[in-house]
Amino acid sequence: MDNMNLISTFAEFKELKNIDKSTMIGVLEDVFRHTLQKLYETDDNFDVIINPDKGDLEIWRNRTVVEDGTVENPQMQIAVSEVKAIDPTYEVGDEYTDQVRLESFGRRAVLSLRQNLASRILDLEKASLYEKYSQKVGEIITGEVYQVWKKEVLILDDEENELILPKAEQIPNDFYRKGDTIKAIVKSVEMNNNNPRIILSRTANQFLERLFEQEVPEIFDGLITIKKIVRIPGERAKVAVESYDERIDPVGACVGMKGSRIYTIVKELRNENIDVVNYTTNPQLMIQRALNPAKISSITIDEEKKTASVYLKPDQVSLAIGKGGLNIRLSKMLTGYDIDVYREVEEEDVALTEFADEIDGWIIDALKAAGCDTAKSVLELSVEEIANRADLEIEQAQKVVEILKAEFEE
């Protein structure tokens, strides 16, 4: 076992793990000096010379030449007769330097040195990985799916570092197999038992923001800014954008020609519907844009309570609410207002609240929550649909219909 054999192994390791030269030299020298201290009690008179490029290392011991019989410490001194047997030119007081071979350390010391070196380099690699990904928090990375478990997916980056995508950070429609390529944002980096744990996310709003930056040059260049993002991952998202250049239409730039830019993002997000909204500080206009595609007739805003009452024609109510209530829910999140949607009451129609003495209040509230604010809006539906929307028994829905019909009978 020689010096070259030991160092070349770790030279290869260095290439794989990307540890810089100066750090590698420092670790090697420190580990060898620690071994020298244990074997010879001091390392002060040793020179450790490392060439990481070639993968070689030399250890030289410096000793003072003294008179025969006066050697007190054989690690620091050498008798003149012993030196002259090697080189007659040496005299008392000279410094004699000889090379120390690794095999002279003994098998146990070399094994301990190897283990210490491996441990130090592993710790370095962990620290390097933690530092590297700490600087990447908020950035998109691309990796390869290595293992799929019930609660998380193990992903390898291009240097085969292990990254974790927890189930909670996956889009509901995400489905992966080993070998799949995946995009995600670095959400956080933690240290667990001295091991870096890198957490990725595909549900974070910042992931959507970074996708827009990749696909829309105007956002990347700062000509368009994303003011706010709200999303229900895998279902729907609303993105408020603003342009700093009057010549640029921020919504049009984000959508792209024939939807080319937005299509790439939607595809990456498993067909998550994305509404791009032109940002404004005018709350009425912002609410109106947020509720798109519904056409609003009028809005009443209470700034103190941060509430907004929105009135629409009957055929626009379902558009404002959206499938499963997603549109109005996201509009509330985007604008910061608690939005209530009402049908415009036509002159010949009657508001449901007028029937409070005949219909229980909780039934009226359930009907209103289902988008039916007036008698005619209820009567437009079948008994079965009324029961289904308001979670009523068929008999209760039938009774409501009879009461409302009586209002319009002469």
DSSP class of 158: T
Residue range 189-201: average pLDDT? 92
Residues 75 and 120 reside in one and the same domain: yes
Answer yes or no: is pLDDT of 53 > 70.
no
Residues 14 and 126 reside in one and the same domain: yes
List the CATH number of the domain containing 374.
1.10.150
- Nearest 5 degrees, angle CA 78-CA 84-CA 87? 110
Answer yes or no: is pLDDT of 17 > 70.
no
d(CA 99, CA 355): 104
List the CATH number of the domain containing 319.
3.30.300.20
The answer to the question of residue 208 being in a domain is: no
The answer to the question of residue 260 being in a domain is: no
Residue range 188-215: average pLDDT? 94
Q: Which residues pair with 274 in a beta bridge?
A: 237
Residues 9 and 84 reside in one and the same domain: yes
The answer to the question of residue 159 being in a domain is: yes
DSSP class of 338: E
Q: Is the separation of the CB atoms in 5 and 55 below 8 Å?
A: no
The answer to the question of residue 121 being in a domain is: yes
User: What is the per-residue pLDDT for 7?
Assistant: 53
How many structural domains does the chain have? 4
Summarize pLDDT for 326-373 with one digit per residue, the tens.
999 999 999 999 999 988 765 577 888 888 889 999 999 989 888 888
For β-strands 338-343 and 307-312, DSSP reports them as parallel
Residue range 28-37: average pLDDT? 84
Residues 148 and 52 reside in one and the same domain: no
Summarize pLDDT for 54-110 with one digit per residue, the tens.
667 788 889 999 998 898 888 888 998 988 888 898 899 899 888 888 777 878 877
Given the structure tokens 């030399």, which residue do they identify? 58
**CA-based R_g, the chain, Å:** 37
Residues 155 and 48 reside in one and the same domain: no
Summarize pLDDT for 233-272 with one digit per residue, the tens.
999 999 999 998 889 999 999 999 999 999 999 999 999 9
User: What is the per-residue pLDDT for 4?
Assistant: 45
Higher per-residue pLDDT: 74 or 199: 199
d(CA 82, CA 389): 104
Residues 297 and 390 reside in one and the same domain: no
Q: Is the separation of the CB atoms in 265 and 241 below 8 Å?
A: no
d(CA 285, CA 83): 96
Residues 119 and 10 reside in one and the same domain: yes
Q: Which domain holds residue 111?
A: 3-132
Residues 12 and 114 reside in one and the same domain: yes
Which secondary-structure segment (H or E) carries 154?
strand 152-156
CA neighbours closer than 13 Å in the CB half-sphere of residue 112: 11
Residue 166, preceding bond cis, omega within 30 degrees? no
Of 132, 161, 190, the domain-final residue:
132
By mean pLDDT, which of 41-55, 154-168, 175-189, 221-235 is the weakest?
41-55
Percent helix, strand, coil in the chain, to 5, is 45, 25, 30
The answer to the question of residue 230 being in a domain is: no
- Nearest 5 degrees, angle CA 232-CA 234-CA 237? 45
Q: Is the separation of the CB atoms in 26 and 128 below 8 Å?
A: no
For β-strands 181-192 and 140-148, DSSP reports them as antiparallel
Residues 9 and 112 reside in one and the same domain: yes
Residues 186 and 294 reside in one and the same domain: no
Residue 314: strand, helix, or coil: helix
Of 318, 344, 370, the domain-final residue:
344
Residue 369: strand, helix, or coil: helix
User: What is the per-residue pLDDT for 1?
Assistant: 39
Computed over every residue of the chain, the mean pLDDT equals 88
Summarize pLDDT for 292-322 with one digit per residue, the tens.
999 999 999 999 999 999 999 888 999 999 9
Nearest to 294 by CA among 324, 271, 328: 328
User: What is the per-residue pLDDT for 156?
Assistant: 95
The answer to the question of residue 218 being in a domain is: no
Q: What's the pTM value of the predicted model, to 2 decimals?
A: 0.67
The answer to the question of residue 251 being in a domain is: no
- Nearest 5 degrees, angle CA 334-CA 338-CA 342? 110
Of 169, 201, 233, the domain-final residue:
201
d(CA 373, CA 389): 13
For β-strands 152-156 and 140-148, DSSP reports them as antiparallel
Residues 12 and 110 reside in one and the same domain: yes
d(CA 91, CA 83): 9
User: What is the per-residue pLDDT for 346?
Assistant: 55
Residue 89: strand, helix, or coil: coil
Residues 174 and 114 reside in one and the same domain: no
The answer to the question of residue 108 being in a domain is: yes
